[in-house]
Chain A
């Protein structure tokens, strides 16, 4: 056990002791055990979102979006954005929480990316190898063959993918540092290559 982990365990133990003092052992244990447990969900990631039309995107667009998700946040030692169904999430979120204009901008940029790919390579975006997909999305942001307004539309879509990824269970628990009870605030801790930011539980 490294030093950091042992510190955290100690503070957790102390915390539980104090909590038990205040509200009783049974209540304290059930309260803390309750953190992070899964219960019924309203939006549930599905393994097959790209196999049919979504609520915002057509089936063909869902397929392209799925590949965009996998390209923006690919699988590494943690899952990709497509693995956690960010395409399904974005499709759902756009309808629920965004304006019709935002929906249209996202649909348009998915179409633009697919049609440009078709023009250049005679294939759909989803059918291209990973390196080519990455190259195309880099070109969107570099404004090579894409306009500033297309880049802005892509940024909107990308921000939803990123939000969806880092609020998914794997995104929070695996990609970030999941810390439901940080045990207090320390103003200065060492940082290195492996230091991750805290999982998306905070308020703002």
Chain B
């Protein structure tokens, strides 16, 4: 371990405390340290070092005690909630938090899935890497249809910051020139397979407003010399990303932002440091630092900084604010508006359809592509809204050939069956919906009045439900997926919805609860992710969102964070902070 990088006790006053080390925290640390500021990154979890700590990478299935499945008992005792994530397995469980140690509660009659990765790098190690810009229409939606508050920023404000983070991170994709989905700065796209290409053409005839494109993803298909200089190489299409990738082929804190920040010599990291609350000085109206509980020893300590960036994940950041009670802020720090904890959002991934694609028996593909295809939201402005609900959804999906996993459930005994199991099976084509969830005051996270975790932190209490808007949207999505599969040439199509069984949180796109806004009376942060109430306090993760849009949010976390750092640095230079 690098003794100089990791610290525990210190009285030093840093220029910036960055709380959290995931996608947002990594970017905050990189941008500040590259500008010459001394940064302490405060991380509640353990250290995970690039390459060295990817302990399951390259370990084949037969070397796992239960062939990559996790034992009943362990799931029951420690991973009951985390195990609902698609990415959870014996190969990845060490990057998920332990539910026994980190409990939360839900309001009677509601359910919520809070999937967390508390370690250095956070969920940047586990994310699905899909990377899309929000559009002009996304930033205008709240104003135009009256749900939620108006975003204080527009696409134009974020455009150059998207380009800035994309150039560093490496986003693969095609230039599609769509007003509903702005192009990124791209490296080479992943290829489509044949049925996907044919579906693209057929859909273009039948549904010209629903272009099918290759998924845009933070993988180095063709790394630039700049990416190689970060110590990263091209993606091998292993699709084992969530074990950690020693090639640095996908963007994570470890592969991309952390090396850049470490290189400056301006970064220190305090691991195993759970931020209990912020230290606030009423006289100067500034935060001065953070109160920390050591995750292992339970000892208390403090860290000091001139500025604090909360990048602790959507609910992590809100939890710290809610738990920072002062005479002036009795309902949580920076909460003069009273909206802290409200307008909680996720994405609604609760409709899907799939079918067989006949006619491609002589086609196959090589490698395990870590992305699928994508159809951007086709109800992206009020003129395009459907009857019965507002906003819309994007579609993810892919085509592929079956293998032994599906074959295991088919009839067959003996040598012919065995042979069939080893050969490419029938082609399938599937779509799933990624729906926008409306920002609603009633969907809230708060501190439980009595329950605490083992470190003495008040537990979070969730009260969030899908509204009729999301349910009607998913009903429409299931129907449209079916129609589009038909148009693409699929047969034996089956469609379904799952909003009754998959509660909010399931998409792991938690957003809102410390939203931005123009008016300090109804928002926590201004258009630069800066607290309206306390000038040297910023929140740049998903908590700051005013609406969810339909796109995967991580790329926007990156852009918002880089922009906020640029603004904050300028404010510090001019001594306004």
Q: Do A167 and B62 touch across chains, with their CB atoms under 8 A apart?
A: yes
Residues of A within 8 A of B62 (CB): 41, 167-169, 172
* A136-172 near B? 1/0 per residue, CB < 8 Å: 0110011000000000000100110011111111001
Say yes or no for A22: interface residue by CB 8 A criterion. yes
Q: Do A42 and B65 touch across chains, with their CB atoms under 8 A apart?
A: yes
Q: Do B67 and A164 touch across chains, with their CB atoms under 8 A apart?
A: yes
Q: Do A43 and B361 touch across chains, with their CB atoms under 8 A apart?
A: no
**Band of interface residues on B:** 35 or more
Q: Do B236 and A163 touch across chains, with their CB atoms under 8 A apart?
A: no
Instruction: State the CA gap A134–B233 with chains docked (Å).
Output: 50
Say yes or no for A60: interface residue by CB 8 A criterion. no
* B245-261 near A? 1/0 per residue, CB < 8 Å: 01110000000000000
**A163-B67, A187-B193, A187-B194 known; A19 vs B247 contact (CB < 8 Å):** yes
Query: How many residues of A are in contact with the other chain, CB < 8 A?
Result: 72
Q: Do B240 and A202 touch across chains, with their CB atoms under 8 A apart?
A: yes
Q: Do A97 and B69 touch across chains, with their CB atoms under 8 A apart?
A: yes
Residues of B within 8 A of A19 (CB): 233, 247
Q: Do A138 and B237 touch across chains, with their CB atoms under 8 A apart?
A: no
* B201-215 near A? 1/0 per residue, CB < 8 Å: 000000000000000
- A93, A97, A190: which has the most chain B beta carbons within 10 Å? A97
Instruction: State the CA gap A37–B63 with chains docked (Å).
Output: 10
Say yes or no for B148: interface residue by CB 8 A criterion. no
Instruction: State the CA gap A200–B366 with chains docked (Å).
Output: 14
Say yes or no for A29: interface residue by CB 8 A criterion. no
Say yes or no for B413: interface residue by CB 8 A criterion. yes
Say yes or no for A48: interface residue by CB 8 A criterion. no
Say yes or no for B232: interface residue by CB 8 A criterion. yes
Instruction: State the CA gap A73–B413 with chains docked (Å).
Output: 7
Q: Do B424 and A197 touch across chains, with their CB atoms under 8 A apart?
A: yes
Q: Do B246 and A31 touch across chains, with their CB atoms under 8 A apart?
A: yes
Looking at A51-59, A104-112, A118-126, A173-181, the stretch in contact with chain B turns out to be A173-181
Instruction: State the CA gap A147–B65 with chains docked (Å).
Output: 34
Instruction: State the CA gap A188–B362 with chains docked (Å).
Output: 9
Q: Do A137 and B413 touch across chains, with their CB atoms under 8 A apart?
A: yes
Instruction: For residue B359, give the distance in angstroms from its CB to the closest CB of chain A.
Output: 13
- B64, B190, B364: which has the most chain A beta carbons within 10 Å? B364
Instruction: State the CA gap A134–B86 with chains docked (Å).
Output: 36
B364, closest chain A residue (CB): A191
**Given A19-B247, A182-B368, A189-B365: 8 more A-B contacts, CB < 8 Å:** A22-B228, A72-B414, A73-B418, A185-B369, A189-B366, A195-B364, A198-B403, A203-B87
The 8 sampled A-B contact pairs (Cβ below 8 Å) are A72-B413, A167-B67, A181-B236, A187-B192, A193-B423, A197-B424, A201-B368, A203-B239
